[in-house]
Amino acid sequence: METKWICRCLGSCGKMEIRRKPKRGLCPRCGEHCAPAILASDTQAAELAGTTWRVVAPTDVVPEIERLGLIATIPGDDFSADLSKISRLRNDVRNSKHLVAHRHIMGRSGFANGDLKTRSALNRAMSRGEGTSPFFPKPSLSDSPSVMGKFVEAEFGFRASRRVLKTLSLVSEQLVYEHPVLDIPINVEIDGSSENLPVELKTVTALDIISGKLRAIIMQLAGQAIAKGVDSGVLIVAEREGNRLTAVVISGLAEYHINKVERWVSESTQSGVLA
């Protein structure tokens, strides 16, 4: 059986199966970066299509957000109705071309929004050399949490594109903004939007153990809010191993993000990391 290289062109070619690894990591058709990818198996695709998530109130998330000094509110009725629509299973189980997982850093100047999620990530970005690969290595396991999370996110995006929604869009958007503390361009990719607010879609093993990841998630959402010139954003959280789905509007993001980065820069400069 002939071995094929599965990848996602970051230009206009999309998902491809080619005979050999792209030369210099570039698409053989258009010359853009070509990110190594994994496709969902037939079993995974069928399970995702047949899954109905249960929309619940963000009771596990709101207290953790408020402990950080942020404002958490429940989305309005129209958004909740949209969330219910994308939570329902679909019958066209053979339609799985959208279930592609890849991780990449495009060959762009400046930092990525993910570089500002934690202090350690910022330190790594500040010390990163020019020879960095344009994308991360291919994920090694098709059933790893990160890959399964991307499959779930892709499934919700596909459902949103096929159903009539009032306020929720899961069409991704790429922006660049000048960071108010670092004075460098930050590349931001946003999962979707709702009435001009950025929407970040995350998956977790279970909602009741999200607290360990929440600070990094909020920093990511805050960067998206700053890029769009707003102070609030919508966080959607879906379980990978369960079937609960929730959403919350978070406000006060810009000040939270700026204060964090200012503190990290100050501490790192004092310790010599960013000197």
Domains of the chain as residue ranges with CATH: 1-39 (2.20.28), 52-271 (3.90.320)
Q: Are strands 54-55 and 244-251 parallel, antiparallel or unpaired?
A: parallel
- Phi and psi (nearest 5°) for 134? -70, -10
pLDDT score at 134: 45
Dist. CA 195–CA 274, nearest whole Å? 38
Mean pLDDT, all residues of the chain: 83
Counting beta carbons within 10 angstroms of the beta carbon of residue 120, is it exposed (0 to 12), middle (13 to 18) or buried (19 or more)?
Answer: exposed
Q: Sorting pLDDT into bands at 50, 70 and 90, what band is 16?
A: low
Dist. CA 46–CA 49, nearest whole Å? 5
Dist. CA 190–CA 8, nearest whole Å? 18
Percentage of the chain with pLDDT > 90? 45
pLDDT tens figures, 56-91:
999 989 999 999 999 999 999 999 999 999 999 988
Q: Hey, what are 198's tokens?
A: 């950025």
This prediction has a pTM of 0.83
Q: What stretch of H or E contains 187?
A: strand 185-190
pLDDT reading at 146 higher than 90: no
pLDDT reading at 135 higher than 50: no
CB–CB of 235/217 below 8 Å? Answer: yes
